[in-house]
Structure 1
């Protein structure tokens, strides 16, 4: 009994009571920190938000007006020379508008960090006879395009992500870190953080390549996030660009219609 009583008195000492309170508090704080780390790992701060792609509606409206313009020209010109139908379609202008709309959409996707126009760089190349030829980029005011002609079989460009993706069976490519980014342009390499790219293709035919680069800020924590962002936010605009190429190909098929018709 004397031992039990002494232990009871021991645990009633102010110092021991304070020690248990502090130890309990530290334990609770450690648990909360651990939970916080787990939440951040699975729900990172710089996570892309699902937002209304209002720019897509504007692109679709532009395309509708484009079709309306075609119809008006058909009515005004009287008998139509079918061989000149390809002149009705301003493919390059429409694609530049879609790329600009994509850039605005990407900047609005990240609510937890300010993404300025200088943090997003988008470029688009056409694949013509084994060469990626530059078409446009955004922001167009930045002189960040050094290689405007990229032969895909040239050793000089073998490490370019676009070239590697074109020559592979993959439709997309991702770089979570700049460490693997080819130093094709020293200006962009200084600030680039992450890179996404995708083929522009339809029915097995590759029209070109689209890249989206993030500068100054890393906005993804793993490649899975990059893939989901590509599928949810880039692919709708990719489809709009591919539509422009299909339309150009369709109109272009009439350029030698008379000769083909006589041959048939």
Structure 2
């Protein structure tokens, strides 16, 4: 396909998959249960954190976290004590994300919200930055804090060349704005032109099949390689193509 033909093809597929029916079977359905900004942020971040593997399993395990937080995540995190989290220490939340990791995430979020009204404050693009490579590292440092815990492995490090798929997906949910109703677009101070497509097995495989990327690894260098093409297709909204690439990968239509 020519550049123009490929753009038209991906635009058509993005429009096809970017609709409210997408929400039903996707982890984004969990934060869609809430209207308060902080609730959406918290549930979105926690759900994105466990978003690997079977989507039904992800949704079920996100439900477990919601139930523990009494379906009022922001209020729960503001008021919970360390003693109340003791029961988490011996459970499994999702695959290798254990109860003790969930406990640490809750305490870290409690610390961040004690001085900030939104997680957006930790993801700002600075100076001449063109993507979230440095912003994700800054967030990771702020989130982990001084109390180094095993849970840090669940917050990807772009400085170690991770694709940071789950954090990039969380950013898409929070930042991207359109009229389709899938993404929230509740963060007003970050421009969606800096977003990337979350790089996973589905988006990576389809991108290679249509020659958007050549690298074999799913790492940060490949994210930037994908950016070079997708930002030419749509400089103002490159993450739109996540719907096309992921949808084609999951549906096996291509």
Larger Rg: 1
Compare the two structures and name the one with the higher strand fraction. 1
Instruction: Give the structure-1-normalised TM-score.
Output: 0.29
TM score, norm. by length of structure 2: 0.29
